[in-house]
Amino acid sequence: MKSMTKHTATTLLCSRLAYPNTKWRNRMRPQALLLAALLLPATAYADSAPNSQSEFTESVALENSNQVLPLRNQHLLEYLFVDVYSAALYAPDDAELNRLLPGDAPLRLELSYYRSIKRQDVIKAAWTALKRQYDENALAQLKPNIDELHSTLSDISDGDRYSLTRTTTGKLILRHNGKATFESDDRQLAEAYLGIWLNPNGLSDELRTALLN
């Protein structure tokens, strides 16, 4: 990660917001991820860089099953030269990644964070992405379970890890630093919430492409 002055970062941020181009919007939607206006003022001007190479395990054991999911892809998400988090996708060897989410195959998405992010910013970013992906009627059906999931979130600190697992039965399991904090048997919720990262028009097209290639 390159260091930058507060003036340089502010100038670049303002120019991006004032003159958004298609390539930049496709790479990172600032209003969706909320890491420009909300996170950068507190973190973009650090002189030292975090360790941007997270050590993800080569495989993970699936809950209540003998199945092991291998690591298929991982990607470092950056914004204005700032390392935000690394994401890792675990799925069966024979699963077609570009058809993974609409199917029934189990998977796990793991996120390793390098920056502190407020809980309300995470929730706002999630809803921003979901409102792009679903119409009002679909969101109204999903909202009670999404609100329940969001109620279990806490502020993110540097070094925290969150994981979302979809089991063979379609159950969604959310873990924070290895501890299960939320579970749901709603298959639609599992697809929708994982889709924040893995469906089109989510948080980052670049991240989605890297994980599903």
68 inside domain: yes
pLDDT value at position 81? 83
Looking at residue 64, what is its pLDDT?
A: 75
Q: Number of structural domains, the chain?
A: 1
149-180 in b/e form (b: 16+ CB < 10 A) is bbeebeebeeebbbbbbbbeebbbbbbbeeee
**Residue 117 per-residue DSSP state:** B
The sheet that has 59-61: what strands, in order across it?
59-61, 68-79, 82-90, 107-113, 161-166, 172-176, 179-184
Tokens of 161: 């890890």
Q: Is residue 106 part of a domain?
A: yes
- pLDDT of res. 135: 97
In a domain, 118, yes or no: yes
Q: Is residue 1 part of a domain?
A: no
Q: Is there a domain that residue 140 lies in?
A: yes
Q: Is residue 28 part of a domain?
A: yes
The enclosing domain of 63 has a CATH number of: 3.50.70.10
- N- to C-terminal Cα distance for the chain? 25
Residue 54: the pLDDT is 63
Judge whether 46 lies within some domain.
Answer: yes
Residue 19 within any structural domain of the chain:
yes
pLDDT means over runs of 10, the chain (213 residues): 40 39 46 40 37 77 88 93 94 96 95 96 97 97 98 97 96 96 97 97 96 96
Q: Whole domain around residue 177: which residue ranges?
A: 6-212
